[in-house]
Amino acid sequence: MSLVLNDYLALSTILFAIGMFGAVRRKNLLMLFFSTEIMLNAVNIGMAAISKFHGDLTGQMFAFFIIAIAASEVAIGLGLLIIWFKRKNTLNLDSLQSMEG
């Protein structure tokens, strides 16, 4: 059983929809970061599949750079989340209304 391009794009679409639903619905900052990571991985799957289908490495290289950017985003984002949690004792998005020190 071989998978065709439509199968990979369907998986990518489902993952992106799950990530979008999580980003819109969640009130927790950590879950918001997880949802954006799911969306980035969905885009990576789509680009890598289209790249393989066309026999070109461009999409795979873009996916590689997105993975690198996502890794740095997670490192910085989790650091900010730890600082925010130490100050406010919550990761609720409603507590972001005031950005006072």
Is position 49 within any domain? yes
Closest CA relative to residue 28, chosen from 92, 83, 88, 96: 92
Is position 16 within any domain? yes
Is position 99 within any domain? no
Is position 77 within any domain? yes
What tens digit of pLDDT does each residue of 62-97 get? 999 999 988 888 889 888 888 888 888 887 877 666
Closest CA relative to residue 7, chosen from 35, 15, 41: 15
Q: Which residues contact 16 (CB under 8 A, 6 or more apart)?
A: 38, 39, 42, 43
- Asked if residues 101 and 88 have their Cβ atoms less than 8 Å apart, the reply is no
What tens digit of pLDDT does each residue of 12-25 get? 999 999 999 999 98
Is position 100 within any domain? no
Is position 98 within any domain? no
- Asked if residues 93 and 29 have their Cβ atoms less than 8 Å apart, the reply is yes
Is position 34 within any domain? yes
Closest CA relative to residue 46, chosen from 69, 71, 63, 23: 63
Question: What domain count does the chain have?
Answer: 1
- Asked if residues 40 and 70 have their Cβ atoms less than 8 Å apart, the reply is yes
Can you give the residue range of the structural domain that contains 10?
5-92
Is position 97 within any domain? no
Closest CA relative to residue 101, chosen from 50, 36, 86, 1: 86
Query: Residue 83: which CATH number?
Result: 1.10.287.3510
pTM confidence score: 0.81
